[in-house]
Amino acid sequence: MTAGPPPPRPSTARLSAPPVAARREAPRPRVVALSYWLWWVAALVAVVTVVLALTRIDAMQDELARIARESDPDATDDTVDRVVDLSVLVIIGGGILLGVVGAVLAVGMRAGRGWARVTLIALTLLAVAYALLVVSATGGLVLGYAAVTVVAAVCMYLPGGKRWFG
């Protein structure tokens, strides 16, 4: 006598998380919507900060060269130029990258993706570090960018939004 196929294994899905279809039918919590729009505001502020930095790029390069020469008086002009060019690339490229990545991840967070919410926390930490590092070169607007990302991150974890991420 042969036994039939083994019985199906019980599901390992979390019992507390509603099915994806049920989550989509439920209204999106206000704190999630607020966080989503704050991430877009942060992205806009990051881009505006970069544009303003580009309008005063000559002054920024002069200031960075002065700082580099003060840090290492024996540095050659070629070395100082390389440091300045790399610093400008980090300031401009970093601002654009942080803004774009934040906006893209906000779309995932709004859709209820838990990984996007966690990644946005890491992005918030990077945004604060970026702002503190480049505030002297870009101006105070970059601190506003960091502040908006912190508020957006806090909104994602307020009690009303927990059920959205299951």
In the chain, what are the domain boundaries?
A: 28-165
What average pLDDT is seen over the chain?
A: 88
Q: What is the 3-state secondary structure (H, E, C) of 27-39?
A: CCCHHHHHHHHHH
SS3 14: coil
CA angle 16–117–17, rounded 5-degree value: 10
Whole-number pLDDT of residue 136: 83
Whole-number pLDDT of residue 36: 96
Half-sphere exposure (Cβ direction) of 104: Cα atoms closer than 13 Å: 8
DSSP string, 15-75: SSSPPHHHHHHSPPPHHHHHHHHHHHHHHHHHHHHHHHHHHTHHHHHHHHHHHHHHH-TT-
Q: What percent of the chain has pLDDT over 70?
A: 89
Encode pLDDT of 82-114 as tens digits: 999 999 999 999 999 999 999 999 999 999 999
Which residues, other chains included, contact 135 with Cβ-Cβ below 8 Å and sequence gap of 6+? Answer: 142, 143
Encode pLDDT of 2-34 as tens digits: 677 877 777 665 555 555 555 556 788 999 999
Separation CA 64–CA 67 (nearest Å): 5
On the question of pLDDT at 115 being above 90, the answer is yes
Residue pair 65/82 in contact (Cβ under 8 Å)? The answer is: no
